[in-house]
A and B are shown apart, each in its own frame.
Chain A
């Protein structure tokens, strides 16, 4: 039974990531291979990043006689990554699973359901752990200049495995707290969005400052050893791996096993209650108020806006470019002069600065793909839009308007910052004012056209619809692809004046805007009406 449940859980997990749909047709072998390769690539990228970090720490820590600190750092980083990587899954699987009623109605022991969910989380943690454990081991072997004994490697492997239990304990506790906190809130999407944004910003902050942080870590090994040496479990863990100390190994394993056993026992005893508990936001009683009347188009626009803002997956994944653009405008205003001051020394490049920046903000705007999943995201609600007494073109126009109304203000922030910092004049000033809005419109119509041509109503979660769709890929890479010719012309054909390149590009994008918009309003609208 446990095997069947585990297979089902892992299958669902795979489907959520790979974009396998609810439809009966099986995912093609080619698509599965491609997705596996993509996953390997992503894991490889993170692995290389981790190798870069640990290879800089291995030699200085080993030379200073702080081998235990290296392994403590490894344990800490592995634990952090595993907890971050599994806390949301733990929340969804343990406390908010939607299939509890179905599974409990079957002749399955509740214990088996819990065990299958824990094992799934364990597998997720194991994969997250590999991202750190393999590069850390290779970096130590290659850079420390020390001979590692079999006992040390054995302890390394044992701790790498058992630390999964500790991360599960922490993830389960954190997930419980998050679930209790969000269950009483009306706007779960807002909390999810804020948490996701915090993680994302922390990630980018870490990436930008990684090199200086590692250098400072490597330089302050003794200070760090003094601090961390006081934390006994970390010291034991480091010592167990660095010196093959069996006593420290036993203590570390106990630290991993005991909390997990306690949490598992509590979860097992309360699983039935947790699975059947009816949580929900506090009931809001309706108070009759004067109703506002608005036009059909305004109602359609507000519908699109409500859908966009209610889904953290949609908001974060499709609206990320707009957030980056606002952040970019602030960075440009604060650091613009310092960043571009050095270009004034290079006459060949200074004339390209403004056009390249204009194209650059266009490229960032291409990351905003609000319109690209907007048709597919209708999903099982498609019948409502199709039964309304409004032309399909109006519904599509509302989708396009949402895209533009979110992206254009962000784009204008960038344009304003660019004008303040670079102070272009003449043709370049006109182009800085005209091209960005024309390109924003292009990203909108391109995404909508792609989705009308490649709709997919067969998704399981909104995030899956927003992230794993052909339309989003076309919108993203299509808008970036459109920017390649002007970039190439600017750098490769120096005889061409930049204003001429951008003028021709603006005209071409404007023509594409008109053509795509006309297609959406006619053939696209017909397609939308006939979708099922």
Chain B
């Protein structure tokens, strides 16, 4: 579903991502772990066609992000680390805007808006302006907008930040259901417990370079993901 081949991105002299390769297959929840400034957000933005990159190739559902960005974006949903949405719209107007741009049919959008807004307890707030939303409510709206157009690939940057425990639980259920239905999810997180329980595969990145990747069992073995992560970070620092 998502194939990253030798991705390289530099900012001035600094290599933010250095020859990174990953493959996320349909049905997989793929966790992306690394310390602050490791290159996670850069990679995620490049996958969504938001950030141009210097070298390598990214394909989504067989389409190149470089040569067919619109085709890639049509099957991808992106949730950034900070849900800065349109404050001048109400929740429902934002969802209608997304549905219109992604070409969601009338019956599908009505059913999905109701279903996902009910899931997150946001239905009664949909008429409120987004400027009146809390951080958590904005995050929930961003998640609903991502699921609204039934994308094949969902890319999320720290999706659990700001969510209450119930919403986090619901999101995890939705992620699993999405992948069970043949979709794929690629997300970054600092919450290693969540990654360990939720992800089918995981990649650990440091200073733009891939340290480890593979199935959860391959990466962590009998240890915890946290201890493996700390060990890999320590080895690199040594």
Q: Does A425 contact B (CB under 8 A)?
A: no
Tell me the smallest distance from the CB of B67 to a CB of chain A, in Å: 13
Q: Does A288 contact B (CB under 8 A)?
A: yes
Q: Is the Cβ of B85 less than 8 Å from the Cβ of A381?
A: yes
Take A384-B85, A389-B70 as given contacts and tell me if A299 and B128 are in contact as well, using a CB distance cutoff of 8 Å: no
Residues in B with CB closer than 8 Å to A281 are 129, 132
Q: Is the Cβ of B70 less than 8 Å from the Cβ of A287?
A: no
Residues in A with CB closer than 8 Å to B128 are 283-284, 286
Tell me the smallest distance from the CB of A192 to a CB of chain B, in Å: 13
* A286 vs B93: C-alpha distance when bound (angstroms): 11
Tell me the smallest distance from the CB of A342 to a CB of chain B, in Å: 49
Q: Is the Cβ of A307 less than 8 Å from the Cβ of B88?
A: yes
Q: Does B26 contact A (CB under 8 A)?
A: no
Residues in A with CB closer than 8 Å to B126 are 286
Residues in A with CB closer than 8 Å to B70 are 389-391
Q: Does A296 contact B (CB under 8 A)?
A: yes
A contact residues vs B (CB 8 Å cutoff): 186, 280-281, 283-288, 290-296, 298-300, 302-303, 306-307, 310-311, 380-381, 383-384, 386-391, 529-530, 532
* A292 vs B93: C-alpha distance when bound (angstroms): 11
Residues in B with CB closer than 8 Å to A391 are 70
Tell me the smallest distance from the CB of A321 to a CB of chain B, in Å: 22
Residues in A with CB closer than 8 Å to B162 are none
Take A284-B127, A389-B73, A529-B69 as given contacts and tell me if A299 and B101 are in contact as well, using a CB distance cutoff of 8 Å: yes
Residues in B with CB closer than 8 Å to A311 are 88
Q: Does B56 contact A (CB under 8 A)?
A: no
Q: Is the Cβ of A291 less than 8 Å from the Cβ of B103?
A: no
Q: Is the Cβ of B89 less than 8 Å from the Cβ of A383?
A: no
Q: Is the Cβ of B100 less than 8 Å from the Cβ of A293?
A: yes
Take A285-B127, A310-B88, A383-B78 as given contacts and tell me if A302 and B110 are in contact as well, using a CB distance cutoff of 8 Å: no
* A280 vs B131: C-alpha distance when bound (angstroms): 11
One digit per residue, 1 when the CB lies within 8 angstroms of any chain A CB and 0 when it does not, for chain B 84-110 equals 111011011100110111110110011
When C-beta atoms are compared, the residue in chain A nearest to B145 turns out to be A384
Q: Does B177 contact A (CB under 8 A)?
A: no
When C-beta atoms are compared, the residue in chain B nearest to A283 turns out to be B128
Take A381-B86, A383-B80 as given contacts and tell me if A389 and B105 are in contact as well, using a CB distance cutoff of 8 Å: no
Q: Is the Cβ of B100 less than 8 Å from the Cβ of A306?
A: no
Q: Is the Cβ of B127 less than 8 Å from the Cβ of A294?
A: no
Residues in A with CB closer than 8 Å to B73 are 387-389
Q: Is the Cβ of A389 less than 8 Å from the Cβ of B86?
A: no
Q: Does B219 contact A (CB under 8 A)?
A: no
Residues in B with CB closer than 8 Å to A294 are 100
* A287 vs B129: C-alpha distance when bound (angstroms): 14
* A307 vs B45: C-alpha distance when bound (angstroms): 25
Q: Is the Cβ of A286 less than 8 Å from the Cβ of B124?
A: yes
Tell me the smallest distance from the CB of A318 to a CB of chain B, in Å: 15
Which are the 3 A-B pairs with shortest beta-carbon distances? A299-B100, A310-B88, A389-B74
